[in-house]
């Protein structure tokens, strides 16, 4: 025996279900914030198209607090990410926005971010036709005068609709340094890299009064090179930086080492791969 359901009730139920589904789709543009006492983390999803997806990790910080770049400088803790519990995800690549330098409070220099940052993610799906759920374990430190370790585990499903986060992710991509070669004809560029004994001198061509900064990384995370310092005088139209070949792993020599230079300018930042002579 079957029960008769009024047609109006059916329409109301369908409308309510549609509203719920729309709400769920919009909610999947970003995960809920996972908060601690000084920061919050969430995942962002860009519009899905094909097997390569664009996402992001958004971090908000309380005023006066900071977190760190992949190479934290003289002190600090680089963040760590684990995506192994994700579904239908082959690989995740983190695209790092250019950092800023700040005093670490102990006479050194640290590199990282204040206020807020979005780290873009390039996500490769195992199967482009199946749902993707990104699950991240994010371990990072937030620091004011003292550092506090934080761990957050946001998750987010990617859906095949236009995302409200596309503009945010596009803006974040604009802050990621782009690959370049020494001597490229950009208005701001690394012109020359030369070794002088146990020091490396880097000349940066830049218009007068243009603010630039330079950071260096070794070929592996075990290298802990010092943050380059601006030195004067330099040739006209050139800002000169220097760093010592210190902080190498035990028993390792710098000869022939592949270094990564990150040049941060007001308009655009660049990454250079150079080999020491």
pLDDT per residue as tens digits for the range 48-68: 888 899 999 999 999 999 999
pLDDT band at 71 (very low <50, low <70, confident <90, very high): very high
Q: For domain 34-176, is the CATH number 2.60.40.1250?
A: yes
Residue 47 has pLDDT above 50, yes or no: yes
Contact 80, 60 (CB under 8 A): no
Structure tokens at 54: 């664009």
Instruction: Return d(Cα 258, Cα 217) in angstroms, integer.
Output: 9
26 membership: H or E segment, kind and range = helix 7-27
- The more confident residue out of 86 and 75 is 86
Residue 252 has pLDDT above 60, yes or no: yes
Using the structure block, give the residue that is written with the tokens 């792993």: 249
pTM over 0.85: yes
Q: For domain 179-276, is the CATH number 2.60.40.10?
A: yes
Q: How many residues does the chain have?
A: 277
For the chain, residues classed under CATH 2.60.40.10 are 179-276
Residue 8 has pLDDT above 90, yes or no: no
- The more confident residue out of 56 and 16 is 56
Instruction: Return d(Cα 182, Cα 177) in angstroms, integer.
Output: 14
102 membership: H or E segment, kind and range = strand 100-103
pLDDT band at 272 (very low <50, low <70, confident <90, very high): very high
User: Could you give the dihedral angle defined by the CA atoms of residues 25, 30, 31 and 34, in that order, rounded to the nearest 10 degrees?
Assistant: -160
Please return the burial class of 37, using the count of CB atoms within 10 Å of its CB with bins 0-12, 13-18 and 19+: exposed
For the chain, residues classed under CATH 2.60.40.1250 are 34-176
Q: What is the pLDDT of residue 33?
A: 97
Half-sphere exposure of 84 (CA within 13 A, CB side): 3
pLDDT per residue as tens digits for the range 81-116: 999 999 999 999 999 999 999 987 777 899 999 999
């Amino acid at each position: 025996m079957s029960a008769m359901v009024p047609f109006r009730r059916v329409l109301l139920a369908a409308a309510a279900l549609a509203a719920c589904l729309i709400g769920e789709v919009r909610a999947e543009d970003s995960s809920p914030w996972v908060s601690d006492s000084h920061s919050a983390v969430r995942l962002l999803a860009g519009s899905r198209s094909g097997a390569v997806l664009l996402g992001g990790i958004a971090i908000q910080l309380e005023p006066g607090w900071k977190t760190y770049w992949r190479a934290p400088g003289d002190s600090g803790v680089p963040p760590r990410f684990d995506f192994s519990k994700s579904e239908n995800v082959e690989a995740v690549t983190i695209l790092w926005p250019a950092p800023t330098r700040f005093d670490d409070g102990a006479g050194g220099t640290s590199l990282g971010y204040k206020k807020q940052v979005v780290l873009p993610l390039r996500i490769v799906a195992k199967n482009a036709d199946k749902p993707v759920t990104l699950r991240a374990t994010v371990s990072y430190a937030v620091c004011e005068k003292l550092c506090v370790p934080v761990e957050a585990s946001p998750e987010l499903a990617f859906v095949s609709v236009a995302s409200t986060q596309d503009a945010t992710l596009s803006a974040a991509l604009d802050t990621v340094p782009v690959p370049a070669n020494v001597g490229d004809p950009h208005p701001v560029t690394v012109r020359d890299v030369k070794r002088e004994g146990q020091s490396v001198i880097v000349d940066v061509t830049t218009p007068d009064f243009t603010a630039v900064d330079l950071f260096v990384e070794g070929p592996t995370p075990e290298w802990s090179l010092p943050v380059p310092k601006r030195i004067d005088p330099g040739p006209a139209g050139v800002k000169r930086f220097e760093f010592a070949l210190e902080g190498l792993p035990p028993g390792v020599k710098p000869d022939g080492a592949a270094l990564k230079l990150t040049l941060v300018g007001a308009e655009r930042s660049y990454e250079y791969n150079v080999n020491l002579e």
